[in-house]
Amino acid sequence: MKNTLIFIIAITIAGGAGYGLQRYLTKQELQSKDLANPILGQIRPEFAMKDLDGKLRNIKEWDGKIVLLNFWATWCPPCLREMPYFVELQKTYGEQGFQIIGIAIDDEDAVRAFADEMDINYPIMAGELEAIELSKRYGNRVGGLPYSVLINRKGEITDTITGELHKIKAEEILKKVGLKF
């Protein structure tokens, strides 16, 4: 009985360590892949999708602005953690020509309920397969969420971020494209 208990504890510890190592290596892989993303420096791909009000929105409508295109889902905890900060960014820097656009890889009803609850102040579009394909066109090779793309005023992709976009990193990349903090 004692040997069985020791065996179960050892397996649990090994499994936990393996899981932790896998998460660490995956995070490192995602970060290193973003550094070498071939979409960087390219003109942003064109797309059109309906927003939550049913209005067809085309990315060209924001030409000349600094755009943060954010791919997210209601079931993604890191996505939900960055949303209040995005609302704050849009409110603070919108007058400087900054525009966040949310592309939800999710069911439209779930997205609508969440956007209403969070009082999102920027356009949100929802699509399942369409949004997944669009994120791939924007360089999301591994399918990670959240995934954000920064587009400068000339329409060039300057940065891609796989994973939660923290305040310090956001301010760093937004300063680089000309926002004044």
| pLDDT, tens digit (0-9, with 9 covering 90-100), for 38-75 | 999 999 999 999 999 999 999 999 999 999 999 999 99
The dihedrals phi and psi of 44, each to the nearest 5 degrees, come to -60, 140
d(C-alpha 134, C-alpha 76), whole Å: 18
Q: 151 CB contacts (<8 Å, ≥6 apart)?
A: 44, 66, 67, 68, 69, 157, 158
Structure confidence at residue 32 (pLDDT): 45
β-bridge mates for residue 98, sequence order: 66
Class level of CATH domain 39-176: alpha beta
Q: Residue 53 to residues 17, 56, 108, 120, 122: CA-CA distances in angstroms?
A: 46, 9, 11, 13, 12
* pLDDT band, very low/low/confident/very high, at 150 (cuts 50, 70, 90): very high
Residue range 105-133: average pLDDT?
95
Structure confidence at residue 9 (pLDDT): 63
Alpha-helical runs (H) found in the chain: 2-35, 77-93, 108-118, 129-137, 167-176
Cβ-count burial of 11 within 10 angstroms (0-12 exposed, 13-18 middle, 19+ buried)? exposed
Cβ-count burial of 87 within 10 angstroms (0-12 exposed, 13-18 middle, 19+ buried)? middle
d(C-alpha 124, C-alpha 130), whole Å: 14
d(C-alpha 70, C-alpha 150), whole Å: 9
Joined tokens for residue 109 = 């009803």
d(C-alpha 87, C-alpha 27), whole Å: 26
Lowest mean pLDDT among 6-15, 39-48, 96-105, 134-143: 6-15
Instruction: Write down the residue that tokens 């009985």 correspond to.
Output: 1
The model carries a pTM of: 0.80
Peptide bond preceding 146 in cis form (omega within 30 of 0): yes
